[in-house]
Amino acid sequence: MPDVTVRGAVLWAAGRGVPRVIVPIMEDSAQAALERAEDLARPRWDGVAELVELRLDPLLAAGENACGALKAVRRALDAAQNGAGRPLLATVRTRREGGQADLTPGEYAAAVQKLLGACAPDLVDIEFSAGPEAVAALLDAAHGAGARAVLSEHHFDATPPRAEMVGQLCAMADAGADIAKLAVMAVRRADAGELLAATAEAAAARPDTPRLTMAMGPLGAVTRVCGGLFGSCGSFGTAGRQSAPGQPGARALRKALRELETCLTDPKERNE
């Protein structure tokens, strides 16, 4: 897997086993989203919130100015770290994928195009279910705006068969994803293992495309901690409202990821 560099920093590194922590901003008003961003820009979140996701679908559902909110959040993040700011992922999640934006595929594509034109984020989420033509157009728009594209698939009702999950990750990679994201719902204990196995198989099949995978819900929580060992490059942790079931607190997640890395790499830990 090649390095993914965003804002001059290596966001995901080849061979890195520890996923980066992504903190979602999930608010119903632009003012609340801005206040959350201002908090995440403070030094106390350094080393914890390594990437910020702004969920725009709650704002669209509430009739808020999503473009204005995106610009304001970007300015707030830019005010941190001597102007470097944290990388920003912009996401419009439709209802068909578990979000709040009641949009047809055409309306969804237009909304994402508008956001990219108004204020290009560092990364943009593009729902793979929008269809080949819309996905291709949005990929071109994202890359034209200088943004990395996260192609995504979400299954909030169950965990698909392993072969289907591998196929989805590979299809997103083949379509031109900079990062392929897959989220499924764990309804039985074995589902977490199936998601991890699918991640590893996709990593072997498409090693040049980073993957971001997780099993949602309590039974899938383990995938958010150990997913990096199977080829997932990031994990979502909250600093407020969850954007999906099963997300742990960001600080607890970072601590768990570091402790797992230590026990797997420190010879003293292994010999105890």
| Secondary structure in 3-state letters for 212-269 | EEEEECHHHCHHHHHHHHHCECEEECECCCCCCCCCCEHHHHHHHHHHHHHHHHCHHH
Whether the pLDDT of residue 117 is over 90: the answer is no
Of 49-63, 69-83, 220-234, the one with minimum mean pLDDT is: 69-83
Do the domain assignments include residue 28? yes
Do the domain assignments include residue 206? no
Average pLDDT over residues 205-231: 95
By annotation, the residues acting in catalysis are 154, 181
The residue written with tokens 């106390």 in the block is: 44
In which band, very low, low, confident or very high, does the pLDDT at 16 lie, cut at 50, 70 and 90?
low
- Put simply, whether the predicted model's pTM sits higher than 0.85 gets the answer yes
Do the domain assignments include residue 245? yes
pLDDT at 263: 84
Do the domain assignments include residue 180? no
Whether the pLDDT of residue 71 is over 80: the answer is yes
Whether the pLDDT of residue 7 is over 90: the answer is no
Domain total for the chain?
Answer: 1
Do the domain assignments include residue 25? yes
Whether the pLDDT of residue 204 is over 80: the answer is yes
Do the domain assignments include residue 242? yes
Distance CA 204, CA 198 (A): 10
The residue segments making up the domain with residue 113 are: 20-119+234-265
pLDDT at 84: 63
In which band, very low, low, confident or very high, does the pLDDT at 221 lie, cut at 50, 70 and 90?
very high
* Joined tokens for residue 204: 């072997």
